[in-house]
Structure 1
């Protein structure tokens, strides 16, 4: 189960609010199998809802020099320093003073990790989330009481009273289900995004952005290729080693790709055999198998590997099985995957590591716009080489590469890859896209507006909101806890400052990372530029459960709420052979939305009955 918490903040002098808080605290305590560990001070209560023995998350109380409580931090926190670090188990009064004086900003510059900070100074209560929003942070109000939580489904029903569906938000999720804008599927529940801060003590306060990647990226590092590779290698090793030090037993989910192989190599340096298991999910479908690549990495590193068969005959979850979360999550489709794990890997003390995040940071791209970035930095010593590299990376001719860059060299502003993807979905679904602001509202400003950034670097930055989606969004007692060590602030900030043409060294996607870890990887992995896919697995799984999905959608909540039209559903059902590549994706996305709508309706009905 992922890190999971619930928090209550209220005016300490309000007797009515205090009585209602006591009832909510009682509900939280009785809802858990074991009494949760908690932090409490006047006007603030936080409970850790994670299982006992969770190794990588804790409550850090904050106290000033006089010993007066100043709030607490939930999560895992490291100091900014070189090397593999141990997570902090306390903060000194002087550190607390700096954090309070800056309203939490000092956390972004002097520390890193996965955390939610609740800071209380006088009557002011502030909420702050780490830059990658690794621990979800939702909030709502019950009168004078602010309720903050990571997973609505792990909270008692008292947290879910008087909720109304946000149909407009659900329509946006139909267009692009990766979108995270601060809105959820309920009008009353909002989400605090990565690097944002909120003043909880002001009922109508809006979130403010504390962490913005654009100023970092506007100050690129000017390093030789060798020095850049060394900086990248050491930062990756430090981040992976630090996360490993925060965990007990680790199961590395090795896909067979470059990024997960790099994380595996870093773990092999710091973990002994008793602490580390290597697991590969061997997908049995028409997609090219990845097992041979995972085996090559383990053979090179002298590690054993456990291959777990994943067959498309595995049934999709039932449409009534989506947890009653604050919004739909595509991860619902993977419910039941944990059943294929051996018992020793199901312990709460086991943490799974992945290589997720490498595509965005090491830079998996075909864009030729790194050429503009190189020219705009004012150095021309390797102009011809970078022109050739841009053509190689994009697999286009030299003249087409130049034509792609010319508008930006003449002053065209950089474009947001996130905005382009959303508008493309609107076009494909034949939905009105004229008022683009309606569909983009709430997205981080830094993902939509480039400032003075060159086009290649802004393309990279504008995809970073997808990192928020790579986390544990559903709390389940049997669910695994997953850490993505590449999605760590020091590595993100380094990759923001490395030019995109250098990240794609030699005109090869993730070229700098390949150079940095050349001695840790077999040539088979280092030279591989293709990506593994599970497209045919999901298509075959849907084909096996077609009748279940079709029945659920034909007689379900989406139709009733007007979120799915009969003509659109008939068009999808007519393509049972899935000749259109988007059919199975749309069907599975709609099935997830339908399952969530049923969970929401079921919880509402239960609350009405009680």
Structure 2
């Protein structure tokens, strides 16, 4: 798949006389300082909005499975905010829209709600520059972006909270679902609000949730697959990637499966993926991790604005690329974000929500028993958990901090979340805060249309909206997690796989890398830039390096995350 890459410059000043003219340049260094200008890697990624601006990326109208090549606005004199709301309401995809308001002369930028096309910004004296890839900014500034050490420390303290500030100096990320003014980029207007979908239980029955999930998942995966052609499904042996494969099968689209196993049986999912491939009658490729190819000096997140990759992903990308090339596929679909999207909670939240909705009823008691079964808690433990949540009221729990191996004296930035969903009004479903938090946790680990190799289709806007509208108690029906999504594709999935509630992972690979490269890791961290800039505690880090790689101590993974951060920082010079 050709990745979407674009960078554009918009003036800070408002000028009604300018008109909606955005100059196209062939050379990124020619972006104008006072006139709107744009560079985009592929002409196919531009859709005109007439004299009101243009859209960059992929846009599907309604439930259609064909990407639009032109968009006709209902009115020519719509304010920019109205156009933004119309685009979000009438279609979906992965896109950025550049809009001009005829009344004010102000340029503004809409990033679609899914966030599947990244968008970053830098503001100068005369203009704001927006780009989908941080390395594109070098063409404007004449130098590679610089690492922000304070923000790296902030990121490592809360690595699963995607923040507005990136780990690069003066580069911020644009919040999905908002309209940002080019003249005042610190101010944005909310166009897509999750509260519209979580405030009330839009779906009230399990059967309705199942039917809509099946239809929407098929629509979404079908639309992306129709655009990509033959695809590879990165099958993990779990429910989420299996649902993608099942939806593709329902649509009759061409695909094959690939899975990656560890040498240790603890991370070998080949038998499960074989069951899936046989049931769907599609080819399957089974690969194994080669620890010898994993190079800790080569960051997985080199092209990202934050060090959020894992070393084992080098092998995943290697095998996905090879399988795509061999099978003639243009893209690999993964199930990343599925656990979070399908509200995989282990708390009392569903019981509390059902209690608020139905009171002390047999239905609430059924949900209570479902969560006892799902979590393994006895009735007394669950009752106390419900009481604690009730007492907490609407207040959101603080996001946990991880100070392990960090220098606690190091000054940190304010860690404002990219999507400020902590105080979203949830009406009679306070447990939906847990669901929103799960979605926030997945934002650093999904793949958008800027990635030429892999893509995470489950996080598309129609799926977000639908899943947020399903009450928390329906997700745990029958005492099994993600129950509606399992039931939705039960006809296509092997029975044992559809009922599976856990799967293996590449932990043994990470521990083997640690054991093999312990001395290298010691040098990288103790003599590296994180230590030199005071981000990590050298004494604590040196002590942690003595950990037994074959034990269950999670400090090994923390050390490898710090190695990724060090390698990422060095990649930016």
Judge conservation of contact 1:147–1:159 (CA < 8 Å) in 2.
no
Shift of 1:297: 0.8
Residue in structure 1 matching 2:465, options 493, 502, 508:
493
Shift of 1:451: 5.3
1:147 aligns with 2:148: no
CA-to-aligned-CA distance 1:346-392 (integer Å, 9 cap, x gap): 89970111122221122222223211111101353423322211211
Q: Residues 326 and 519 (structure 1 numbering): CA distance in 2 closer, same or farther, change over 3 Å?
A: closer
Distance of 2:438 and 2:326 partners within structure 1: 33
1:121 aligns with 2:101: yes
Paired position in structure 2 for 1:8: 9
1:390 aligns with 2:349: no
Residue in structure 2 matching 1:583, options 555, 562, 569:
555
Paired position in structure 1 for 2:421: 446
Judge conservation of contact 2:178–2:192 (CA < 8 Å) in 1.
yes
Equivalent runs, 1:186-585 vs 2, <5 Å? 186-202=168-184, 205-272=186-253, 275-318=254-297, 323=302, 325-330=304-309, 334-335=313-314, 337-340=316-319, 341-342=321-322, 345=325, 350-378=330-358, 380-409=361-390, 412-413=393-394, 415-416=396-397, 419-420=398-399, 422-423=400-401, 425-426=402-403, 428=404, 440-448=415-423, 452=427, 454-472=429-447, 480-577=452-549, 579=551, 581-585=553-557
Judge conservation of contact 1:261–1:297 (CA < 8 Å) in 2.
yes
Distance of 1:587 and 1:565 partners within structure 2: 12
Judge conservation of contact 1:214–1:453 (CA < 8 Å) in 2.
no
Distance of 1:239 and 1:566 partners within structure 2: 48
Residue in structure 2 matching 1:161, options 143, 166, 170:
143
Q: Residues 450 and 397 (structure 1 numbering): CA distance in 2 closer, same or farther, change over 3 Å?
A: farther
Judge conservation of contact 1:321–1:599 (CA < 8 Å) in 2.
no
Judge conservation of contact 1:391–1:398 (CA < 8 Å) in 2.
yes
Shift of 1:395: 1.0
Equivalent residue of 1:392, what SS?
helix
CA-to-aligned-CA distance 1:461-491 (integer Å, 9 cap, x gap): 122122322334897xxx7432222111111
Distance of 1:448 and 1:432 partners within structure 2: 28
Residue in structure 1 matching 2:39, options 41, 47, 65:
47
Shift of 1:286: 4.6
Q: Residues 97 and 330 (structure 1 numbering): CA distance in 2 closer, same or farther, change over 3 Å?
A: farther
Residue in structure 1 matching 2:82, options 81, 102, 118:
102
Judge conservation of contact 1:368–1:391 (CA < 8 Å) in 2.
no
Judge conservation of contact 1:371–1:386 (CA < 8 Å) in 2.
yes
Shift of 1:62: 1.1
Q: Which residues of structure 1 form unaligned runs of 5+?
A: 15-20, 31-37, 64-68, 603-610
Equivalent residue of 1:308, what SS?
strand
Q: How many residues align?
A: 561
Structure 1 length normalisation: TM-score? Answer: 0.83
Could you tell which deviates more after superposition, 481-490 or 156-165? 156-165
Equivalent residue of 1:134, what SS?
coil
Shift of 1:175: 1.1
Distance of 1:367 and 1:95 partners within structure 2: 48
Distance of 1:216 and 1:320 partners within structure 2: 38
Judge conservation of contact 2:448–2:455 (CA < 8 Å) in 1.
no
Judge conservation of contact 1:76–1:88 (CA < 8 Å) in 2.
yes
Q: Residues 572 and 409 (structure 1 numbering): CA distance in 2 closer, same or farther, change over 3 Å?
A: closer
Judge conservation of contact 2:164–2:173 (CA < 8 Å) in 1.
yes
Shift of 1:577: 3.3
Paired position in structure 2 for 1:35: none
Distance of 1:77 and 1:26 partners within structure 2: 24
Distance of 2:433 and 2:260 partners within structure 1: 34
Q: Residues 533 and 455 (structure 1 numbering): CA distance in 2 closer, same or farther, change over 3 Å?
A: farther
Judge conservation of contact 2:7–2:39 (CA < 8 Å) in 1.
yes
Equivalent residue of 2:37, what SS?
strand
Equivalent residue of 1:463, what SS?
helix
Judge conservation of contact 2:262–2:268 (CA < 8 Å) in 1.
yes
Shift of 1:267: 0.7
Equivalent residue of 2:377, what SS?
coil
Q: Residues 235 and 314 (structure 1 numbering): CA distance in 2 closer, same or farther, change over 3 Å?
A: same
Residue in structure 2 matching 1:88, options 60, 68, 79:
68
Shift of 1:155: 5.3
Paired position in structure 2 for 1:138: 120
Q: Residues 506 and 320 (structure 1 numbering): CA distance in 2 closer, same or farther, change over 3 Å?
A: closer
Judge conservation of contact 2:122–2:130 (CA < 8 Å) in 1.
yes
Judge conservation of contact 2:168–2:305 (CA < 8 Å) in 1.
yes
Q: Residues 415 and 10 (structure 1 numbering): CA distance in 2 closer, same or farther, change over 3 Å?
A: closer
Shift of 1:157: 4.5
Judge conservation of contact 1:364–1:509 (CA < 8 Å) in 2.
yes
Could you tell which deviates more after superposition, 383-392 or 3-12? 3-12
Judge conservation of contact 1:151–1:473 (CA < 8 Å) in 2.
no
Paired position in structure 2 for 1:608: none
Structure 2 length normalisation: TM-score? Answer: 0.88
Distance of 1:405 and 1:153 partners within structure 2: 48
Shift of 1:179: 2.5
Shift of 1:562: 1.0
Distance of 1:469 and 1:588 partners within structure 2: 17
Q: Residues 138 and 160 (structure 1 numbering): CA distance in 2 closer, same or farther, change over 3 Å?
A: farther
Paired position in structure 2 for 1:61: 48
Q: Residues 226 and 243 (structure 1 numbering): CA distance in 2 closer, same or farther, change over 3 Å?
A: same
Judge conservation of contact 1:108–1:130 (CA < 8 Å) in 2.
yes
Judge conservation of contact 2:239–2:498 (CA < 8 Å) in 1.
yes
Equivalent residue of 1:147, what SS?
strand
